[in-house]
Every structure is written in C-alpha cells, then in structure tokens.
A and B are shown apart, each in its own frame.
Chain A
Amino acid sequence: MSVPTLDPSADDAILDVDGVSVWLSGREVLHDVRFRIMPGEFTGLIGSNGAGKTTLFRVILGLQASSTGSVLVGGRPLTRRNPIIGYVPQKVFLDPDMPLRARDVVALGLDGHRLGVPLGWGRRRQAVDAMLDAVDARRFADARVGNLSGGEQQRVLIAHALISRPRLLLLDEPLANLDIRAEGEVVALLARIAREQRIAVLISAHDVNPLLPVMDRLVYVAAGKTASGTTAEVIRAEVLSALYGQHVDVLRVHGRILVVAGAEGPSGVTVEETDGAAVGPDIVSLR
C-alpha cells in the first residue's frame, strides 16, 4: 500500500512544465507557461474563469498538444493514460436518476478504463472500502451518489482519482459550488493526503483564499500567462499587474487576499500594497 518510488532521485520534480504555449483556433490560450511541482507539494493554480486553467490540465494529461515547450511527468515525457496522474475533472455528470452508489464510482477509478466485467470482487471491495475510509466517505458508501451533497460528491471523486495510486493529483475547480464549510473540509482532506502519502496536489481555483493555509506554492494564470512561486512572491501588485497587462492592486484583509483591478491608477505608477483599512467602497471587481 506504499507509494511506488521507482524514481531513484525522489527529490526530482514530479511535474515539470517548461515553456508551454497553446494555440486554440487561432488564439494563444497559454503563453510560455513554466513551473515545477515536487512530490508531496500542494500547489494552487489560480486564475479567473477562462484564464486557461483547464487547457493547462488538458496539456498535462496529454489530451491537448502544446504548440511549443515540453512537459515532464515523473521525469518522463508525456504519454496518454499516464498512471502517475489522478484527475478530478470539473464536469462530472452525477444526478439522482442514476442507479450508482458512491462505491461504484470509486470502483470505476480502479479499473473503469478496462474492457470486460470486473472480476475478483473481494479484493476490489477491500480496496474501495480502504479508499472510502481514507477520504472519510464510508458513511455514505452505499448511498445513491446523485443524492449526496456537493462536498460529499467531491470526496467520492477524490477517492475515485486516488484509488489508482497516482503520485500527482490534478483537481479542476473542486471547490466551485461548495459551501464554506465543505470547502474547508475538502481542502484539509487534500492537504492531509499530500502530506501523508507524499502525493503532489495541483488544484485549480478562481479564489486563492480557501487554499492559503495549506498551499506550498501557487501558479497564477491571467490572460494565458503565468507566474509561479510562493504566495508572498506571486501575489504582489507588480507581478500581477504585469500578468494582467493592466494595473491591479493587492489588498490584504484579515489574512485574506483581494486582487482588485485598479481603475484609476495612472499607468506606469505602481501603487504599493495597500492596507486593509484603506479599502473604500469603490472596489471594481473581485478576482
């Protein structure tokens, strides 16, 4: 039940994205993206809707060819059907009309891509139960998955992705549509998995705040360009202004971060990080 450590140098990056650009129907969706993720690291991929996060995931999964640049997963070039990667997509069709239990969804993570009917029920059942325990989902293992709450469904999907023992877990907007409490629980669960099982987690989100307590590094995407590093390195007015190509302010309020388009700042003048006390009612947009 241990994570396979085939790689002799465990310190090497599990994911190495180097200078990736993607063109989709005549538009450059990603421009010169580069960052690295180490085993067991918790990384946030932060950006608004349409910034290119899902495209980047599709590149890492080998579903979308990049126009330039290279991606190494576990030190090797990209392949489809990469067993090192677990994936929780944003679009999952679970509705109450499907006769599927939570455990059926998790079991599909084990071997859903294989042809034929599943054999060896005892062993499968054990593996599924162990996984459901690991994400604290045993309670509703036999409930119809479409009737579960958003947070519970997210746990089931995480178990679905983890059961094939990946070393890198990609989650596309898992916090969208969750209430604040479920959000915190899912983030804590992911952080625990990253720490205990040394699985690298790359999670995309449009809001940086829920991830602040657990994030080791972040990759910020705006208009197809990225900046990566620790929170303190990236979430700064100069860095983000350069990314967006327009002036933005970074406000810190009670340990939370607001990134605000600065409408009035004269171009060329960099407004330093403002204190939370100075926040007026004229916040134009929250990202």
Chain B
Amino acid sequence: MNQVLRVLFAPGFFASGPVHAALVVGAVVALVTGAVGVFTVIRGQAFAGHALGEVGSAGGSAAFLGGANPLWGFMGIAVVAAGLIELLGLHRPRARDVATGLVLGAGLGLAALFLYLDATSSSTTGVAVTILFGSLFAVSQQMLPSIVALSAVSLVVIAVCYRMLLLSSLSSDLAAARGVPVRALGIAYLVIMAVAVSLAAETIGAILATALVVGPPATALRLTKRPGGALVVAGLIGVAAVWLGIVLAYDSYYWPPAGHGWPVSFFVVALVFLFYLVAGAVTGIAQARRSRRSESASRLAASGCAEHPGDAA
C-alpha cells in the first residue's frame, strides 16, 4: 500500500505548504467555474467566456505593474469587458461575435502593452508567462481568504438565480413573458462569469482559464441530462482535473528532464480535454446502442399492430 502511495505521490507531497494551498484554491475555483460554466455552455457563450479570460491578462499585467495581486487586475478588467460586450447590446449572432472579438482584440492589445512595460520595468519576462499560463503553486497564501470569499459569493448568486438563469438560457422570450428581467440577468450573469473566469485565470493562467470554465461543464452536460446534476458533476470533474494535475505536476520533478517540473496548467488542461473526449466516446457508444435497440423494438411493435391507436401526435 505504501509502495503504491509512493508511486502516486512523490515524497514531500503532503508536507508541502504550496501544495496545500494549491489543493484548496484549485478545488474551490473548480467548483465555482463548474457551476458558472454550465450556463456558459448552455447559453453558447464559450467565446465570451474565453474573451473575458484573455482580456483579463491586460488587467493582470497592469496590476503587476502597480504592485497589486493579479487577481484584482483580472477581475477589474474582465468585469469592464463584460459590461462592454453587453452594453454594445448586439443580439444578432454575427454582430455579437464581432463585438466580442474586437473587445478581445483591444484587451489583448492592452495586455501586450502592459506586459511589455512589466518586462522593461522588472527586466524579466517571467511575468508574462505567469500571467498568461499561470502557476498554481505560486498562488500566495494571503489570497486564500479573498479567493474563497469570491467563490462563495459567486456560488450564492448562481444558486439564487438558478431557475431564472435556466429559463432565460432555454428561451429568453419565455423568461421575459414570465417576468424575468432578462437584460439585467444577462449582465449579472456576465459579471459572475467574469469573476469565475478571473478566479480560473489566477489558478491556471489567463489564456487557459477557458479550460476550467468550458471543459468540465461541457463534459458534465454530455454525461447527465439534468441541469442541476450537471452543476455538481461539472464541479467534481473540475476538482478531479485540478487535483490530478497538481499530483502529476508535483511528481513530474522526478520525470525527465530531471529536476524540472512540468507546469500544472498543462496537466489540468490536458486532463480536462481528455475527460471531454472520454465522455463523448462513452455517451456516443451508449446512444448508438440505445437507438439501435429502440428502432428494432418499435419496428417489431409497428409490424405487430399496424393500427396502434395511441400514435396520435
């Protein structure tokens, strides 16, 4: 048993402070992004979610320039960008697509500027890599309370708005007819998404944040049909990906090339992608089997009693 554990967890894993922090932060963030991300996928806002993450890198680099924690920068600019995308108020798909793209482009332009200034002021390019690709082991312990608090607030908002969000995601007309303030809800949702994306950016980097926001929810929606269940499953898949990623990254110090750890973010992203593919394969096989069975069954029924009275639409 000990042997197995030693293979799975490299020595010192459980004693390491950064590992503890990473495990806690990773799990909390994965739960929030899972819950928020389910709606991102249902509402078809993967692009907007991704854009908010990348735009956040401008804020992250600006915050670094001003000596603040990147999280505040990520969040500040992501919320502003969310407001901009919604404010442009374009409801036709093509115009919305373009508007999102241009907000993203402008944000990345700013990121280029700030990262350049970061690099010249601190004469290192390590900042760019940390902001863009994240490093979970470097999340400062002082940020823990803020991260947990933000996550809790996001989860509470999602829980409160759950039914309204679901209804308006399925049909905004239907929701409006029921008296749901669709516009305000849309803005509120984008803001919550901006917070979730920023948390993910702090964990696995601004340009990889999408992996946590879109991956586990899309996987969960393949596995379960109930939206409530999808929230939970997405969170669990996210936690699994992050924790496994941390373990593998920690172990990778002992992999070739020796003495060099592989980035956590890479493992998290790769695992998220793998889960998505596996879920697709599993449901694909199950569906094919089910449809084959039901077709032959209903063929039998149809030939057995041609004039089935219950056939009416």
Contacts and interface: CB of A to CB of B under 8 A. Distances in A.
Contacts of A27: 294, 298
B311 A223 contact: yes
Given A97-B95, A97-B98, A98-B94, A50 B298 contact: no
A223 B76 CA distance: 55
Nearest to A21: B302
B226 interface: no
Interface in B90-112: 92-95, 98
Nearest to B307: A245
A27 B290 CA distance: 12
Given A26-B292, A26-B295, A98-B94, 18 more contacts: A25-B295, A26-B291, A26-B293, A26-B294, A26-B298, A28-B302, A50-B313, A95-B92, A95-B93, A95-B94, A97-B92, A97-B98, A244-B313, A245-B308, A245-B310, A245-B311, A245-B312, A246-B312
A244 B98 contact: no
Q: Which 5 A-B pairs have the closest CB atoms?
A: A26-B294, A245-B312, A26-B295, A223-B313, A97-B94
Nearest to B90: A97
A96 interface: yes
A235 interface: no
A160 B297 CA distance: 43
Interface in A88-129: 95-98
Contacts of B297: 26
A231 interface: no
Contacts of A54: none
A244 B312 contact: yes
Nearest to A50: B313
Nearest to B298: A26
B313 A25 contact: no
B309 interface: yes
Contacts of B92: 95-97
Size band of the A side of the interface?
Answer: 10 to 19
A222 to B, nearest CB: 6
Contact of A48 (B93, B299, B313): B313
Contacts of B308: 245
Size band of the B side of the interface?
Answer: 20 to 34
Interface in B52-66: none
Nearest to A27: B298
Given A26-B298, A28-B302, A245 B94 contact: no
B290 to A, nearest CB: 8
Interface in B235-263: none
A68 to B, nearest CB: 11
B313 A222 contact: yes
B88 to A, nearest CB: 12
Contact of A223 (B98, B299, B312): B312
Interface string A58-101: 00000000000000000000000000000000000001111000
Interface string A36-50: 000000000000101
A244 B313 CA distance: 7
Contacts of A246: 312
18 contacts: A25-B295, A26-B290, A26-B291, A26-B292, A26-B293, A26-B294, A26-B298, A27-B298, A96-B92, A97-B92, A97-B98, A98-B94, A223-B311, A223-B312, A223-B313, A244-B313, A245-B309, A246-B312
A28 B93 CA distance: 34
Contacts of A245: 308-312
B228 to A, nearest CB: 26
A23 to B, nearest CB: 6
Contacts of A203: none
Interface in B161-206: none
Contacts of B311: 223, 245
Contacts of B298: 26-28
Interface in B270-313: 290-295, 297-299, 302, 308-313
A132 interface: no
Contacts of B302: 28
A51 interface: yes
Contacts of A28: 298, 302
Nearest to B313: A223
Interface in B70-124: 92-95, 98
Interface string A206-225: 00000000000000001100
Contacts of B291: 25-26
Most buried by A among B92, B98, B310: B92
